[in-house]
Amino acid sequence: MAAKYTKRADGRYCTTVVTGYTKEGRPKRKSVYGKTIKELEKNKREFMNLYEKGVAVDTQNITLAEFAEDWMNDRKDSVARSTYFSYKSTIKHIKESDLARMKITDIKPYNLNRFLETFKKQGQTRAAKTMLCRLKAMFNLAVSQDIIYKNPCANMSVKYESKHKRTLTELEKRRIEKCNLGSREKAFIYTLRYTGARRGEVLALTKDDIDFKNKTVTINKKISDNAGRPTVDDKMKTNAGARIMPLFDPLASVLDDYIASINTPYLFYTKNNTPMGACNVSNLMSNLRAKIGLPDDVTPHTFRHTFITECYEAGIDVARLQKWVGHADIQTTLGIYTHLSSERVLDGSDMNEFYVVKMSSNAKKQKTKIVEMQ
């Protein structure tokens, strides 16, 4: 281990960085900590990034709102635009709360619980869970910079039960296929249906992303909404987000005719020839549900889950599907497959069909036997 690292009695590693000089020419030093050498190096880099950007290093009196702002700005260039906008929303909530003016050194679990309760009381448990995740990251950085000794929300949690992700029923699939849709409507709903791509990824697709010769679809960007203004973001949330997947036959035939009929680079666009945003999709989906006869709980994500489910039923291996749908962690894909396997175990419809056929066959045999006896 390099001599510049010191292992403390509490098990953490420590190093110092020079943050300036006194009038006498003596270096001013700041201690940085980490549970491992790797974590220590990471924390040191983060601290130096903040320092070089002009963030105050005398952080003992810094408020949570100030620290949160610095934390967000330090990540601006390293995260996807949509993630950065999400960070801004987090900071906005913090600035509007009682926590804003509190020194980061004074914040206790009690204060954080009260803050999260405001979301829970409004039924926004998912927002509370996201907020807690961001707060933990902020306080972990504060711990690494020796501003605080312990993360006040390290042992806190928010119980959130995600909504059941449903798939299209067979009846709904037939309704989509038989409905007399416009070319753009059909292209949009079929792209969702046969790529399993996320809404923002579908909206960012261009003509060049569809390769009819090699039968592939390239997904390497997405549409992010910034205060209602859709913008193209070519920085995906994870490396797995950028991918190339097969162009399946049902979609190829639809897109071939549709692409030949449009003059814009983007497949799905507004009247001003700009990419569609969340508001445009909301209106389009509302019209499609009414036209096809789909219930209100059918969303763009319903098609993604339907695609994944059909891949499972087709026997597509987990590793291949992970690449197709852009999951960063194979455990996410595996978790869905495991869930679908559990559902199949509990699904007795095929046995019920067997018993109906069996009972019907036995009834016919019995009837024949009675007739013969007569």
The per-residue pLDDT for 3 is 43
Three-class secondary structure of residue 363 per DSSP? helix
pLDDT band at 183 (very low <50, low <70, confident <90, very high): very high
Average pLDDT over residues 45-49: 78
Q: Are 29 and 18 in contact (CB under 8 A)?
A: yes
Q: Which one has a higher pLDDT value, 128 or 57?
A: 128
pLDDT of residue 279: 82
Look at the block and give the residue holding tokens 């949570």. Answer: 64
Residue 356 in this model has a pLDDT that exceeds 80: no
Structure tokens that stand for 231 in this block: 């913008």
pLDDT of residue 369: 57
- SS3 label, residue 25: coil
Average pLDDT over residues 50-76: 75
Q: pLDDT tens digits for 278-303?
A: 788 889 999 999 999 999 999 999 99
The more confidently predicted of residues 370 and 19 is 19
Q: What integer pLDDT is reported at residue 76 of this predicted model?
A: 78
Average of per-residue pLDDT across 92-96: 91
Q: 109-139 burial, b if ≥16 CB within 10 A, otherwise e? A: eebbeebbebbbeeeebebbbbbbebbbebb
pLDDT score of 243 more than 90: yes
Rounded CA separation 129/116 (Å) = 8
User: Which of 155, 116, 139 lies closest to 59 in space, CA to CA?
Assistant: 139
Region 78-98: mean pLDDT is 84
Quick one: pLDDT at residue 289?
95
Q: Does residue 208 have a pLDDT over 90?
A: yes
Residue 96 has pLDDT above 60, yes or no: yes
pTM higher than 0.85: no
Distances (CA, A) of 179 to 171, 272, 344, 347: 12, 28, 30, 30
Share of the chain above pLDDT 70, in %: 86
- pLDDT (tens digit, 9 = 90+) per residue, 14-38? 888 877 777 777 777 777 778 888 8
More confident residue, 243 or 146: 243
Q: Please provide the DSSP assignment of 296-315 as one string.
A: TT--HHHHHHHHHHHHHHTT
Residues 6+ away with beta carbon under 8 Å from 342: none
Region 187-211 average pLDDT: 94
pLDDT in tens, 301-332: 999 999 998 998 888 888 999 999 988 888 88
For 131-172, write each residue's pLDDT tens digit.
Answer: 999 999 999 888 887 788 889 998 998 886 666 678 899 999
pLDDT of residue 363: 63
Residue with tokens 């950007």: 53
To the nearest whole number, what is the mean pLDDT of the chain? Answer: 84
Candidate from 109-118, 301-310, 334-343 with smallest mean pLDDT: 334-343
pLDDT at 2 (0 to 100): 44
